Structure 1
Amino acid sequence: MIPLRVGEVAAVLGALVEPTSSAPVDLDRAASHVTADSRAVALSSLFVALPGERVDGHAYVGQAFAAGAVAALVAHVVPDAPGPQLVVADPLEAFGRVARHVVDRTRATPSRPEGLRVVGLTGSQGKTSTKDLLGAVLAAAGPTVAPAGNLNNELGVPLTVTRVDRTTRFLVAEMGARGIGHVAYLCRIAPPDVAVVLNVGHAHVGEFGGQDAIARAKGELVEALGADGVAVLNRDDPRVWGMRSRTRARVLPFAVVDPQAGRPAAPDEPDLVWADGLGADDRGRYRFTLHVRTAGEDEQGAVALRVTGRHQVANATAAAAAATALGVDLATVTTALSAAEPASRWRMEVDDRADGVTVVNDSYNANPASMAAAVDTLAELGRGRGRTWAVVGDMLELGAEAPALHAALAAQLAAAEVDEVVALGEFAPLLVEGQPGRARVARSAAEAAAWVRADVLPGDVVLVKASRGLALDVVADEILRAPDRERATSPEAGGGA
C-alpha cells in the first residue's frame, strides 16, 4: 500500500483522533498496510475494528497495537489501548473511504498516464475464475493487484484496493451483490475505467426477487463508467447486452462461437472480441482461436487454457476483452492466457489419486449455471473412461425457484447419464429423482464420502459440488485420500503359516 500518514487518514475521514496515553499523537507516522484481522497486524498496520455478531474487533485493538499497528479505526474509544484511535461512525464505511483515497492518489491522469487503471468485474457466475485469468494477463503487461480468493464485498474490495502502491498499473476489483445498490457502492470505492459484466443468472435470485432485479444490480457497474471508459459486455447474454443503453462509455462486446451451444457464428459488431474453433484435451482444458476486432482492424491468435471446463472459454474471452480495452496487445493476451494456472481453491480443481481415480473439486459454491457447467465437464472428462460420479448438494439462496431449479439440475444429471449420484441437503430427494444410474441420498458429508470411497474404481471420475454452506470440500479431500490397503498375509510378507 502507498504510505498513509495517520493525520492524512484522519483528515480524509473527518475523524476525531483520540490518544489513549499522555504521549502526544504522532500524526506523521505512516501506515503501509490495512487489515481488519488482528492476527494479520504487522508493523505499521492500520487496524480496522469491525463490530460483528460473533466477534467485535474492538476487543482486539490493544492486541493490534501490541503487534505494531500505528492507529486503529474504531466506532468508540477502547480504554487503555496504547495508540491513537480514529473514531468514526462506521469503521467499515470509513475503510471504504480510505481505499477510495488510495485510488485517487494513484489513478492515471492525462499528466500521469502510467498511473493506476481500474477494472470492475461482476456477474452471476464465473467472476472469480475470470478475475484470476484477467489478473494473469494484466500482470504480464505491468504491476497488477487482483483479489485473492473472492474478496468481492464491502470488506473485500477495500482490502484489495489498499494493496495498491505507486508502481501498480492495474487493479482488478471483483464486485458481488446481494441487492440493489451494492455494486454502485463498490464503484464509489473503486471507480472503474473498464467494466466487465459476465452474465445474469440465478445466483442469489431468492434475495433479489428475480433475474430482472439481478440485471438492474449488475448494470450499476456500467452506469459508474465515465464517457472515456469501456463497457465489456457479454454479447451472448441478452440481459447483459441490454446494459449497453445504461452507459455513456464505449462498448466492447465479447462472445463465444460454439455450435454445440447454439451459437454458430460471431455477432455482426464493429468492435468485438470472440473465440471460435473450440477443442479440448483429455483433462477438459480448451484450446481456441481468439479474435480481436477494434477500430476496423482484425487480429487473431491461438490460446490453450490450463484451466478445466468449456465454460472457461467465455471467462477467458471476457478477460481478453478487458485487457484489450486497457491497451494490452494480442500476443501478450494469448501467451498469458495459455500460461495461467488455476489460482483459487475448490474451483474446478482436477486431481488424480495414485490408483487412477479422478476428483473434480468444484465445491466452493454453486448456482444453476455453474452446476450445469460442472455436470457438462464431468460428462466430458468421463467419456471413454470409467464411471461418472456426482456428489452434489443444495444450491442456496434461490428462494421460491429452488424446487424447480433443483429439479432442472436432476434432469441435467440424467441427460448426462451420470452413473452414480450422491445427493445431500434439503433438496437431495429431488436430485436423485429420475436418474438412469444409481442415486442415493446421504445423511451427511461423511456418509457421502464413505460411500464413494467404498465403491469408486480406477478410471472413475468424481464431481463434488454444492453451495458453500454445505462445505463439500471435506468430501473431496476424503475421496482423494489414498485408498485403504489390505494388510498382506502371505509368508513372504511376514504372515504366519
Structure 2
Amino acid sequence: MIALTLAEIAEATRGTLLLDGTHVSPETAVSGPSTTDSREVVPGGIFFAKPGEVTDGHLFAPQAVEAGAALVVVDHPLQLPVPQLLVDDTVVALGDLATEVIARVRALGRLKIVGITGSNGKTTTKNLLRAVLEQVGPTIAPRASFNNEVGAPVTMLQVTEETQFLVAEMGASGIGEIARLVRMARPDVGVVLKVGLAHAGEFGGIEKTLQAKTEMVTDLLESDVAVLNIDDPRVATMADKTAARVLWFGLDERADVRATDVVSDRRGTSFTLHLPSRDGGDGPGSEPQSRPVRFQVLGEHHVMNALAAAASAYVLDVDIDTIVSALQTVKTAERWRMEVMGGTEVTVINDAYNASPDSMSAALKTLAQIAEPDGRTIAVLGEMSELGEFSGEEHDRIGLLAVRLGIDQLVIVGPSARRMHISAINEGSWDGESLYFDTQDAAFDHLSGALLPGDTVLVKSSNSAGLRFLGDRLGESFS
C-alpha cells in the first residue's frame, strides 16, 4: 500500500482514531498490507476486525497485534497496545480505504485498471491477463478468487505508486455488489465473460444475474473500453447499456478478437489468435494481426478466457507477440481448476474448485475429447451449489449429458448430487456405468481399486462439496 498517515486513514474511512496509551502520533505513516485474517498479518500491516457468520474478527485482534499490526480497525474499542480506528462497519471502511488509495495512485497518471466479471472464468482470465501484463510492467492481481467485498479491496490496497496495472476480479452474489466494487476502482477496461446459472439461486434468477453483471459496464466512460463476449447473447445486450467503446471477443467471425482452427487434446488447445489492426487505417500496422497459439491450459472452453485476456491486453497496447508468448507459458488456470495430476498410467484432472452447469458441461466435454484411444473416461461428480430453483433440473441435465457424451464411468458423490446418478440410470446407465457413494471416503476406496492404466479421471464439483480434496487424494495415489 502507499504510505498514509493514521490521520489520513481515519479521514478516508470516516473513523475515529484511538491512540490513548500507544505513544503514537496521528502523523505516523502506515504502508503495510491490509487483511481481515489475523494469520496473514505482517509487521506494519493493518488488521480489519470483520464480524463473520461463524466468528468475529475482533476476537483475533490480540493475535494480529502480536504479529505486528500497526493499526487495528474495529467497530468497538478493544484493550490493545496499538492504534485503533473506530468505524461503524469494518468492511465498509476497508472499501473506503481502497477507494482512497486507488484515487491517489490514479492521480499520478500511471495506473490502468481492468475489471473482470462473469458467471464463469473470472479467475482463469485474471491469471492469464496477469501473465501478459507482468511482461510489460508492475502488475497487481488477486490471489485465488479474491473477488468479493473483502477480497477485492484487499487486492486494491496492494497498489503502490509504481503499479502500472491492476487486474480486479469482481464477483457478486446480488444486485449492487459489482457496482460497489466498480466505484472503488473504476476500470479503464471492463470485461464481461459470460452470464450463466452460476449463483443464480442467490441472485434470484438469470435476469437478475444479467442485471448484476451489467453493472461492470454501465458506469464506464466514453474513453473506456468494454470487452464483451459476442458469443453470449446476454452479454451482447450490454453494448447498448454502456457509453464505452465495445471490443468484442469470441469465436464468432464478427468478433474483433477471435480464435480459429481450435483443436484440443491432452496437452492443451491450439488455435489461431486474431487481433484487430493497431491504427485502423490503410498504413503500416493497419492489417489484422494473427498468430498461432499453443495454449497449455486444458479445456477448449478456456480459449474464451484467453481471448478475453488478449483483448484486454490489446486495449492496453500490448503487442501480439508478447500476448502470445505469455499465454503459452501458463500451464494451469489455477489450483483445482483443470489441474492435471496423477502419473503415467492414470491421469487425474482436478477441477473441483467450483462448478456451474456451464463449467460442468465444458469439463465433461473436455474429458470426452482428450481420452486415451484405448483408455476409459471416468467422471467423479459432486453437487453444483447455489442454483436455487434450477438445481434439480440442472443436475438432471448433467447426468444425461454424461451418458450422451459416452463417458465410460460416472461416479456421483454426496446426497445433493444424487439426481445426476438417477438421471444417468434413467438414460440407460443401469448396468453399473453410473455409481453413487454417500461419502468421499467410499468413492476413494472404490476408485483406488477400480482405476486401470490408461484411465482419465475428471473430478468436478462446487467448492462447498469439497471434492477437490478427493481429487488431491486420487492424484497423489496414482502419481
TM-score by length of structure 2 reads 0.94
Q: Find the counterpart in structure 2 of residue 443 from structure 1.
A: 438
Q: Aligned residue pairs: how many?
A: 466
| 1:385 to 2:374 alignment | yes
What do residues 85-109 of structure 1 show as CA deviations (whole Å, max 9, x unaligned)?
Answer: 11110011100111111111111x5
1:353, 1:482 within 8 Å by CA — same for their partners in 2? no
SS at match of 1:141: coil
1:72, 1:84 within 8 Å by CA — same for their partners in 2? yes
Q: Find the counterpart in structure 1 of residue 168 from structure 2.
A: 173
Q: Find the counterpart in structure 2 of residue 292 from structure 1.
A: 275
2:3, 2:29 within 8 Å by CA — same for their partners in 1? no
2:98, 2:157 within 8 Å by CA — same for their partners in 1? yes
- The structural deviation recorded for 1:353 is 2.3
SS at match of 2:311: helix
2:22, 2:83 within 8 Å by CA — same for their partners in 1? no
CA distance in 1, matches of 2:265, 2:456: 15
What do residues 112-149 of structure 1 show as CA deviations (whole Å, max 9, x unaligned)?
Answer: 54x11110000011111111111111111211111110
1:48-59 alignment, distance < 5 Å = 48-59=48-59
SS at match of 2:61: helix
| 1:342 to 2:332 alignment | yes
1:429, 1:441 within 8 Å by CA — same for their partners in 2? no
CA distance in 2, matches of 1:157, 1:314: 23
CA distance in 2, matches of 1:124, 1:442: 29
Aligned residues: percent identity?
42
CA distance in 1, matches of 2:329, 2:245: 30
1:93-104 alignment, distance < 5 Å = 93-104=92-103
Q: Find the counterpart in structure 1 of residue 294 from structure 2.
A: 304
| 1:162 to 2:157 alignment | yes
CA distance in 2, matches of 1:104, 1:342: 33
CA distance in 2, matches of 1:435, 1:394: 21
CA distance in 2, matches of 1:472, 1:24: 49
CA distance in 2, matches of 1:199, 1:58: 38
SS at match of 1:366: coil
Q: Find the counterpart in structure 1 of residue 323 from structure 2.
A: 333
| 1:393–1:24 Cα change, 3 Å | closer
SS at match of 1:99: helix
| 1:396 to 2:385 alignment | yes
Q: Find the counterpart in structure 1 of residue 258 from structure 2.
A: 274
SS at match of 1:140: coil
2:6, 2:29 within 8 Å by CA — same for their partners in 1? yes
What do residues 431-451 of structure 1 show as CA deviations (whole Å, max 9, x unaligned)?
Answer: 343254611110101111111
CA distance in 1, matches of 2:449, 2:189: 50
Q: Find the counterpart in structure 2 of residue 144 from structure 1.
A: 139
- The structural deviation recorded for 1:274 is 0.7
Between 20-29 and 435-444, the greater mean CA deviation after superposition = 20-29
Cα RMSD (Å): 1.7
Instruction: Tell me which of 376, 384, 387 is aligned to 2:365.
Output: 376
What do residues 62-100 of structure 1 show as CA deviations (whole Å, max 9, x unaligned)?
Answer: 332232211111101002x00111111001110011111
CA distance in 2, matches of 1:47, 1:482: 40
Q: Find the counterpart in structure 2 of residue 317 from structure 1.
A: 307
SS at match of 1:188: helix
SS at match of 1:308: coil
2:24, 2:83 within 8 Å by CA — same for their partners in 1? no
| 1:343–1:466 Cα change, 3 Å | closer
CA distance in 2, matches of 1:24, 1:387: 66
Q: Which runs of 5 or more residues in structure 2 are unaligned?
A: none
**Which AA in structure 2 matches 1:470?**
A
Q: Which runs of 5 or more residues in structure 1 are unaligned?
A: 258-265, 485-497
2:250, 2:304 within 8 Å by CA — same for their partners in 1? yes
2:265, 2:369 within 8 Å by CA — same for their partners in 1? no
Higher radius of gyration, 1 or 2: 1
1:29, 1:70 within 8 Å by CA — same for their partners in 2? no
| 1:22–1:328 Cα change, 3 Å | closer
- The structural deviation recorded for 1:322 is 0.8
CA distance in 1, matches of 2:55, 2:147: 21
**Which AA in structure 2 matches 1:288?**
F
SS at match of 2:296: strand
CA distance in 1, matches of 2:99, 2:183: 7
1:413, 1:435 within 8 Å by CA — same for their partners in 2? no
Instruction: Tell me which of 232, 237, 240 is aligned to 1:245.
Output: 240
CA distance in 2, matches of 1:51, 1:320: 39
- The structural deviation recorded for 1:293 is 1.6
TM-score by length of structure 1 reads 0.91
CA distance in 1, matches of 2:365, 2:420: 19
**Which AA in structure 2 matches 1:407?**
D
| 1:303–1:373 Cα change, 3 Å | same
- The structural deviation recorded for 1:58 is 1.3
- The structural deviation recorded for 1:351 is 1.6
1:390, 1:464 within 8 Å by CA — same for their partners in 2? yes
Q: Find the counterpart in structure 1 of residue 31 from structure 2.
A: 31
| 1:67–1:219 Cα change, 3 Å | same
CA distance in 2, matches of 1:481, 1:67: 34
CA distance in 2, matches of 1:122, 1:176: 6
1:352-363 alignment, distance < 5 Å = 352-354=342-344, 356-363=345-352
CA distance in 1, matches of 2:149, 2:390: 27
Q: Find the counterpart in structure 2 of residue 364 from structure 1.
A: 353
- The structural deviation recorded for 1:167 is 1.2
CA distance in 2, matches of 1:475, 1:39: 26
- The structural deviation recorded for 1:286 is 0.7
CA distance in 2, matches of 1:246, 1:195: 13
**Which AA in structure 1 matches 2:87?**
V
